[in-house]
Amino acid sequence: MDAKKECLEILKEKGINPVSSIDFDVNGELHSLSFEWIIDAYMQASPESQLVFLTALKKAIATNNMGIEKFFEGMGKLLLMTHLSKNIEV
| Domain boundaries of the chain, sorted by first residue | 43-90
Of the CA atoms within 13 Å of residue 3, those in its CB half-sphere come to: 20
Q: Is the pLDDT of residue 53 over 70?
A: yes
Residue 41's contacts (CB-CB under 8 Å, 6 or more residues apart) are: 79
What percentage of the chain exceeds 90 in pLDDT? 59
Identify the bridge partners of residue 33 per DSSP, sorted by sequence position.
22
Place 90 in a pLDDT band, splitting at 50, 70 and 90.
very low
pTM (2 decimals)?
A: 0.85
Task: Answer yes or no: are the C-beta atoms of 8 and 36 closer than 8 Å.
Answer: yes
Rounded Cα distance between 13 and 27, Å, is: 35
